[in-house]
Structure 1
Amino acid sequence: MEQLTDLKAILHSKRANIYYLEKCRVMQKDGRVLYLTENQAEKQYWNIPIANTTVILLGTGTSVTQAAVRMLASAGVLVGFCGGGGTPLFMANEIEWMTPQSEYRPTEYLQGWMKFWFDDSKRLEAAKRFQEQRLTYMEKVWLADRDLNEQGFFIDDQLVENAMKQYRSSINSVLSVTELLTAEARFTKQLYAYAAQKTKLQSFTRNFEAEDLANGFLNHGNYLAYGLAATTLWVLGIPHAFAVMHGKTRRGALVFDIADLVKDTLILPWAFICAKEQATEQEFRQQCLQNFTKHKALDFMFEATKQMSLEGEHL
């Protein structure tokens, strides 16, 4: 059987693949991880390049063998069980994901995180720093992304500029995480309104339970971003419970904090664009994955999280 040492080493921050699978069986065969699909005519096997994969979401009608899980773990691939279309997650370890067992991940980032996390004021400053990085990333990507510009999304549009200016002012002035969350919700609502206007979906209302395409794509894309965030935290050895912004009552909240670095930039506009174009879930998912790779989303998450771990005590 192929061992971890036989796999071509690819840093997690450079990996390109996220898989959503449904109506198939995931198994190990001849030292590879495959998924088997069946139709009336024949059975088909498809290879999963685990050394270049970050996350696998197993949707409806799936099963996975123990041998396959062992190989996925050896390659550091996170696994989650979910409903149709990639949401919601039904069962996973560490709240959001089933994480590979490894006792040889770094400890320096967790130790650095703990140096500031118990200080309320420093935790608030860390949350503010993440939100500033979120805005800077959005400015950089929206300015350079020609595909997004062709769809009418521009970082210098008046509505976007005003929303970002107002949010930056709020980030600097808020005195608590609750106030920051309120300002963040207002900012995201303004982006929804902008995207709805650009795609002529003015009747849009954000509802996690709604079945319209825009809401469905937002849910789906956000879970892909959560997968990248969970991978980042697992590799760096930081438990999901130590959030800086999203409540202390949910043990996976740090996943949401890290995913927020890229969600508005890469998921939100394309959820509306794909809804306007009546795209399929697969087409939308492919667009998201292309965006992650094109704009080095995983690299950005790793660097932001590592920087916070090593500099947080000096905030």
Structure 2
Amino acid sequence: MDQLTDLKAILHSHRANLYYLEHCRVMQKDGRVLYLTEATKQNLYYNIPIANTTVILLGTGTSITQAAMRMLAQAGVLVGFCGGGGTPLLMATEIEWMTPQSEYRPTQYLQGWLSFWFDEKERFAAGVHIQQARIEYLQMVWSKDRDLKNEGFCLEDSDLQSALIRYQDRLGAATKHADLLLTEAELTKSLYKYIVNTIDFGDFKRQRESTDKANVFLNHGNYLAYGLAATTLWVLGIPHGFAVMHGKTRRGALVFDIADLIKDAIVLPWAFICAKENATEQEFRQQCLLAFTQHKSLEYMFDQVKELALLGEPEEDVVL
């Protein structure tokens, strides 16, 4: 097996690592990709296992060599430049993704997505599917996450059950995209109320520009989910503009659609828990990434997007 095939042996949906780096230099050395940090008395090199890495985010004070980019491209690693902390919006910068160039990337999922996207009814049905999968993932995560159970989260809670049943009923009765957006907003409001009451958080009002920890963590966690969603779509070759729910006029709208699959289950509870515990942004980010890994968030996104794209067609044997 040649080097290129070796590097792509692990599917992106099963890769374990996402890196955020700052104040370092990424380079190729002895056939490996390393990042170099400058310590007081010596330079320190750290290996990046690129065959098991999905995304590398380069933050403040970073640089990368052409040789390193070549190896990352061969391994199919998504490379992005971002603001400090890995949260572009809070740093007032826009992330720039650099995608490996290959004429042999599969088009199966793009063609499958476009086969239904231009039909209004089928596009609406895809939006409903994503919203239903969102609740299924929340129920799966909250039913088995011991840390959340220790915080008092319980799927059998009557208020939570009422909110989920009401959401399912309204999904079934929805007839247009505006109905989905309204139903989504009502569910999110109900989840906020449930979480705040469960952990005895106190007063809370969702304001994206606010600087209180709960709002900051929600913004930060949402962008982590957007990163996973963007990675899923990039690997499958589906442009981010082909949204099924959040509008056809926003270039990254499909990223928001796919991120919905995991935000409620993971980002929402941990934003409030970490805010209550006065955690740092780094501690919150590490908790989110740990939960993403434990509950296979990226793999779940891949499965849902592939299911929609294939629409019942058999999956071909392609290496992503």
User: TM-score by structure 1 length?
Assistant: 0.91
Q: Distance in 2 between matches of 1:149 and 1:271?
A: 16
SS at match of 2:180: helix
SS at match of 1:28: strand
CA RMSD in angstroms, aligned pairs only: 2.0
Q: Distance in 1 between matches of 2:297 and 2:114?
A: 25
Q: Distance in 2 between matches of 1:146 and 1:224?
A: 22
SS at match of 1:260: helix
Q: Which residue of 2 aligns with 1:47?
A: 47
Q: Structure 1 residues 183, 33: closer, same or farther in 2, change over 3 A?
A: same
Q: Give 1:64 deviation, angstroms.
A: 2.0
SS at match of 1:261: helix
* Range moving further from structure 2, 301-310 or 282-291: 282-291
Q: Deviations over 1:119-155 (max 9, x none)?
A: 1111111100110011011111111111110111122
Q: Which residue of 2 aligns with 1:136?
A: 136
Q: Which residue of 1 aligns with 2:317?
A: none
Does residue 209 of the first structure (1) align with residue 209 of the second (2)? Answer: yes
Aligned AA for 2:267?
Answer: I
Q: Which residue of 1 aligns with 2:7?
A: 7
Q: Which residue of 2 aligns with 1:303?
A: 303
Does residue 150 of the first structure (1) align with residue 150 of the second (2)? Answer: yes
SS at match of 2:261: coil
Q: Structure 1 residues 149, 114: closer, same or farther in 2, change over 3 A?
A: same
Q: Which residue of 1 aligns with 2:64?
A: 64
Q: Distance in 1 between matches of 2:4 and 2:120?
A: 41
User: TM-score by structure 2 length?
Assistant: 0.90
4+ runs deviating over 6 angstroms: none
The answer to whether the 8 Å contact 1:54/1:228 transfers is no
Q: Give 1:199 deviation, angstroms.
A: 3.0
Does residue 284 of the first structure (1) align with residue 284 of the second (2)? Answer: yes
Q: Which residue of 1 aligns with 2:199?
A: 199
Q: Give 1:260 deviation, angstroms.
A: 0.8
1:84-99 → structure 2 map (5 Å cutoff): 84-88=84-88, 90-93=93-96, 97-99=97-99
Q: Structure 1 residues 105, 35: closer, same or farther in 2, change over 3 A?
A: same
The answer to whether the 8 Å contact 2:51/2:75 transfers is yes
Q: Distance in 1 between matches of 2:308 and 2:31?
A: 39
Q: Distance in 2 between matches of 1:84 and 1:199?
A: 30
Q: Give 1:183 deviation, angstroms.
A: 1.2
The answer to whether the 8 Å contact 1:80/1:91 transfers is no
Q: Which residue of 2 aligns with 1:113?
A: 113
Q: Distance in 2 between matches of 1:302 and 1:58?
A: 24
Q: Which residue of 2 aligns with 1:226?
A: 226
Identity rate, percent: 66
Q: Which residue of 1 aligns with 2:38?
A: 38
* Range moving further from structure 2, 126-135 or 4-13: 4-13
Q: Distance in 1 between matches of 2:197 and 2:23?
A: 37
* Range moving further from structure 2, 41-50 or 173-182: 41-50
Q: Distance in 2 between matches of 1:4 and 1:91?
A: 31
Structure 1: runs of 5+ lacking an equivalent: none
Q: Which residue of 1 aligns with 2:316?
A: none
